[in-house]
Amino acid sequence: MMLIRYLSQIGKYFLMLKEIFNKQTKWSVMRNLIFKEIDDLIIDSLGIVAFISFFVGGVVSIQTALNLTNPLIPKYLIGFATRQSVILEFAPTFISVIMAGKMGSFITSSIGTMRVTEQIDALEVMGVNSLNYLVFPKIIALLFYPFVIGISMFLGVLGGWIAGVYGGFTSSAEFINGAQMQFIPFHIVYAFIKTIIFALLLATIPSFHGYYMKGGALEVGKASTVSFVWTSVSIILFNYILTQLLLGS
């Protein structure tokens, strides 16, 4: 029974994706909605992303330095390990899981509240495609999500450099040499491919849980929790699949 319920939910999710692109809202209205979503989802997330990225980059640098106990191991590996950790996994994946909590809860609660207060029903009565009106602007806004991850990458490496150099673990020249060593440009491409997929998950899964929720104010909170769990699970699952496809060969 549980399997059938999950399959039913997955089917409903894909039907929702199809419906989002039907009967488009006119551009003059959609433009304002998109700008509002960019402000709510992207601009408002920059502060927390910058703070976390900077200090986690510093922690990665310090942890790497503390584990290089053998004096024969060169110090430039601190910069190398920090760059690899931040670009490949921390910035695209770890930040996306955090955003599943911040963005996802915001999306689910805002749409869920509209469902509870019958605002979605009012949109349908007026002949508006409510899924297009509510979800499509979020998808477009989150196409700017790679910009947030790019800032996270930069600040993560910067935090590692500051922690490594000013903590006395390595010199600036050694850290920069390690950060530049054996750099593979495709790793950046890989990170941004993951980021775009994660952005689509962040926009659609919380919207699904908010749009199809039933009940009152208490159920809005429950839907936000369920949405965070499933968005995080989806991000981690797709992270494994994309890593295997793009880097496994």
Question: Residue 201 has what pLDDT?
Answer: 92
Taking residue 154's Cβ as centre, other Cβ atoms within 10 Å add up to 16
Question: Residue 129 has what pLDDT?
Answer: 83
Instruction: Give backbone dihedrals phi and psi of 44, rounded to 5 degrees, phi first.
Output: -70, -15
How open is the CA angle 73-57-82, to the nearest 5 degrees?
35
DSSP string, 156-169: HHHHHHHHHHHTTS
Question: Residue 237 has what pLDDT?
Answer: 93
Question: Residue 51 has what pLDDT?
Answer: 93
Residues 6 or more apart whose CB falls under 8 angstroms from that of 14 comprise none
Both tokens of residue 153?
């990458």
Q: Taking the chain (249 residues) in consecutive chunks of 10 residues, what is each chunk's mean pLDDT?
A: 80 82 81 89 90 91 82 79 87 90 88 85 81 87 90 91 84 83 87 92 89 81 88 92 83
- Distance, CA of 100 to CA of 202 (rounded, Å): 6
Question: Residue 249 has what pLDDT?
Answer: 59
Question: Residue 67 has what pLDDT?
Answer: 82
Taking residue 133's Cβ as centre, other Cβ atoms within 10 Å add up to 20
Q: What is the pTM of this model?
A: 0.88
Question: Residue 246 has what pLDDT?
Answer: 87
